[in-house]
Amino acid sequence: MTQGIVAHGVAGRPAGGIADIDVSPAAFVDQPAFIEAVRTGLRGEVVKQTLDVVGYRELIVRLLGTTSGNLHRVYRRKALGPAQSEALLDTLRVFSHAERTFAGLVGAREWLETALPALGGQRPIDLCDTFEGRRLVQNAIRRIEYGEFP
């Protein structure tokens, strides 16, 4: 069995929200805005902001195809490549959806870190490192919103 992804918050900082990350909110809900953000490339600073706000360092390392020790280099990039930008932005879209559904980032984290029978006993956060995994998590959130999910 693989080890789960563990959240690493920033000590002394109150739990913020996805809105604290310098990405256009439209990119989370509007397909053309999402595509434009990916094509432009997310700034490396967005990676640092994501870690500060949400945590999940191991997940971010896997999404970007780097190592934990090389993250500081990523922070300084003017723009991530399209594949890295898309993976990070799509993951932020999942976090944003969870944050809205579960009344804040704290509730979203609790849900993301809970093993769910409907996801084969896996925690939603552990599925967020792949496109299809993120789709499964998004679908689970939608089902909860519509009352179809226990």
10-residue averages of pLDDT along the chain (150 residues): 37 62 94 97 96 95 94 95 97 96 95 94 96 96 85
Q: Is residue 18 part of a domain?
A: no
Position 30 in a domain: yes
Residue 15 in any domain: the answer is no
Domain that holds residue 118: 26-145
Residue 32 lies in a domain: yes
Which pTM does this prediction carry? 0.86
In a domain, 1, yes or no: no
- pLDDT at residue 150, as a whole number: 54
pLDDT at 6: 36
Please give the full DSSP string across the chain, using - where no structure is assigned: -PPPP-----TT-----GGGSSS-THHHH-HHHHHHHHHH---HHHHHHHHHHT--HHHHHHHHT--GGGHHHHHT-S---HHHHHHHHHHHHHHHHHHHHTTSHHHHHHHHTS-BGGGTTB-HHHHTTSHHHHHHHHHHHHHHHTT---
Structural domain includes residue 7 = no
Classify residue 13: in a domain, yes or no: no
Whether 125 maps to a domain, the answer reads yes
What pLDDT shows up at residue 15?
45
Rg (CA), the chain: 15
Count structural domains, the chain. Answer: 1
